[in-house]
């Protein structure tokens, strides 16, 4: 261990060292950064299929950070003590899991099994990054944790939805059978710096298109809704759950609900773009509504989102401009 790292007290546990699977992805990289800021040593595991070393490059010189190329679906070995395992490895956008259906199912099953095994062997707390997609195209609105969902298991989105539902069941079985200290967080739509411009999700797609002066492609009539949470708020909620000792599942997301068309219009305004909206075919099984019931997060964790949409959007647009990823993505091959 690095001698200059200060331990962090998470609830009744002292967390000196954490493993983050998928730690070089969008969410994982922000989580690694927050843990380091909290004085926790971090082992970042990633196979770089959808994440990338550039997301954690700024962390490589920090005390207590270790980056290891690793496929969590293979045998995983992390020497030394581990107090917390955060399992965030998985393709998470439609573009990725439609292109990588078998890998998505495998990381949800075998990858979760290996991550749980690591936590069991180390006597560590385990936190599974699940998703609002376990609710499918919901028939209950907003969605509480008690809702079992409305998922099409053989539809194109089923590989991701069912991978996460299975991962939740496996996590619960490890808790009841082996006594592993587990938690499940159901993550709702999140945005912020380090999103890939071509990852297929609405906000990075709209920002990329607006900065390039291209039409913003809105699916269907744009009246379907999403509840979007700025990444800093999401990470704070995840760490609050890790600190709490609660098993979950707990919804973490911003309950402010926006139509997809409104999101596109706000992106045009925030970028100062002259782009127009272009309506395109709506994907199969695209949810009509999505909004978390965050009662448990408020009452059990004392958590609620703090970054307003306008402020978070401004920060995200600034990052896309200054990082150059939007320009690079829009440039001809």
Residues tagged active-site: 160
Q: Are 173 and 110 in contact (CB under 8 A)?
A: no
Contacts of 304 (CB under 8 A, 6+ apart): 294, 297, 298
* Integer Cα distance of 264 and 278 in angstroms: 10
Which H or E run includes 261?
Answer: helix 260-271
In order, the DSSP letters of 93-150 are SHHHHHH-HHHHHHIIIIIHHHHHHHHHHHT-EEEEEEEGGGGBS-SSSSB-TT---B
Is residue 318 reached through a cis peptide bond, with omega within 30 degrees of 0 on the bond before it? Answer: no
Is residue 142 reached through a cis peptide bond, with omega within 30 degrees of 0 on the bond before it? Answer: yes
Contacts of 308 (CB under 8 A, 6+ apart): none
Contacts of 112 (CB under 8 A, 6+ apart): 87, 128, 166, 167, 170, 171
Where on the phi/psi map is residue 124: left (φ > 0), alpha (ψ -120 to 50), or beta?
beta
* Integer Cα distance of 131 and 36 in angstroms: 24
């Amino acid at each position: 261990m690095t001698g200059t790292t200060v331990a962090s007290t998470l609830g009744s546990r002292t967390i000196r060292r954490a493993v983050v699977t998928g730690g070089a992805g969008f969410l994982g990289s922000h989580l690694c950064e927050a843990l380091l800021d909290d004085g926790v040593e971090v082992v970042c595991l990633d196979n770089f299929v959808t994440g990338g070393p550039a997301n954690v490059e700024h962390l490589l010189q920090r005390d207590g950070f270790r980056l290891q190329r690793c496929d969590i679906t293979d045998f995983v070995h992390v020497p030394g003590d581990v107090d917390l395992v955060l399992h965030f490895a998985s393709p998470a956008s439609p573009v990725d899991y439609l292109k990588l259906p078998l890998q998505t199912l495998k990381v949800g099953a075998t990858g979760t099994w290996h991550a749980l095994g690591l936590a069991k062997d180390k006597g560590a707390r385990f936190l599974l990054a699940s998703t609002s997609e376990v609710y499918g195209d919901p028939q209950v609105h907003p969605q509480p944790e008690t809702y079992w969902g409305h998922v099409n298991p053989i539809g194109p989105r089923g590989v991701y939805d069912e991978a996460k539902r299975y991962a939740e069941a496996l996590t619960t079985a490890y808790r009841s059978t082996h006594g592993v200290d587990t938690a499940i967080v159901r993550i709702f739509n999140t945005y912020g710096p380090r999103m890939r411009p071509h990852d297929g999700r609405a906000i990075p797609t709209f920002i990329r298109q607006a900065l390039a002066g291209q039409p913003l492609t809105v699916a269907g009539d744009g009246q379907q809704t999403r509840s979007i949470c700025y990444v800093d708020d999401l990470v704070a909620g995840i760490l609050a759950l890790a600190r709490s000792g609660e098993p979950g599942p707990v919804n973490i997301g911003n309950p402010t609900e926006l139509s997809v068309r409104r999101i596109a219009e706000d992106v045009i305004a925030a970028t100062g773009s002259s782009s127009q909206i272009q309506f395109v075919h709506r994907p199969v099984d695209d949810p009509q509504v999505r909004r978390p019931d965050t009662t448990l997060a408020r009452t059990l964790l004392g958590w609620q989102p703090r970054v307003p949409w306008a402020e978070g959007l401004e920060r995200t647009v600034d990052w896309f401009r200054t990082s150059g990823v939007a320009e690079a993505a829009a440039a001809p091959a």
